[in-house]
Amino acid sequence: MVSGASGTARGLRPSAARAIRRCGRPDLGAALPEGAAILPAQALGELFNVLTRKLLRSREVARTAVLEWADSFEVADSSWPAYQAALDLCTDHGLQVRDALILSVAAENQCRILLSEDLQHGFTWRGVTVVNPFAEPRDALLVRALQTR
């Protein structure tokens, strides 16, 4: 997630930049201002599942990766109000509960952009717009967020 705040111009912590480089978007790691991104705790659980179930990494390797991401960004916990809003998203928009919770936590933390290749690119809810970080051309919202550096 990219927060609504512009953050500072110092850049990401080195571990965050490494984590983003490994996921295939090194340009984001170099461009996001420090403090401009937060990570929903739910997304860390999804990362663990992808690493162990789809990529067949060991649980130890997956745990290390999850902890590195958690050390690299502010982690946003899921609250009961966020979960209630996620249930509304599931009911009203047909989202899966895990995706709805991530979007709801983004809104609860006043994010403007949610980076996701799983949710519908351009979907906006409570001021949060889903942006696929791999889409070309790059989304105008993401371009503006990166220019605030």
Give this prediction's pTM: 0.78
Query: How many of the other CB atoms lie within 10 Å of CB of 39?
Result: 20
User: How many C-beta atoms surround the C-beta of residue 43 within 10 A?
Assistant: 25
Helix (H) or strand (E) holding 110: none
Of the two residues 5 and 126, the one the predictor is more confident about is: 126
pLDDT band at 36 (very low <50, low <70, confident <90, very high): confident
Predicted confidence (pLDDT) per residue in 92-104, tens digit = 999 999 999 999 9
pLDDT band with cut points at 50, 70 and 90 for residue 44: very high
| CA-CA-CA-CA dihedral for 146, 127, 117, 31, to nearest 10 | 10
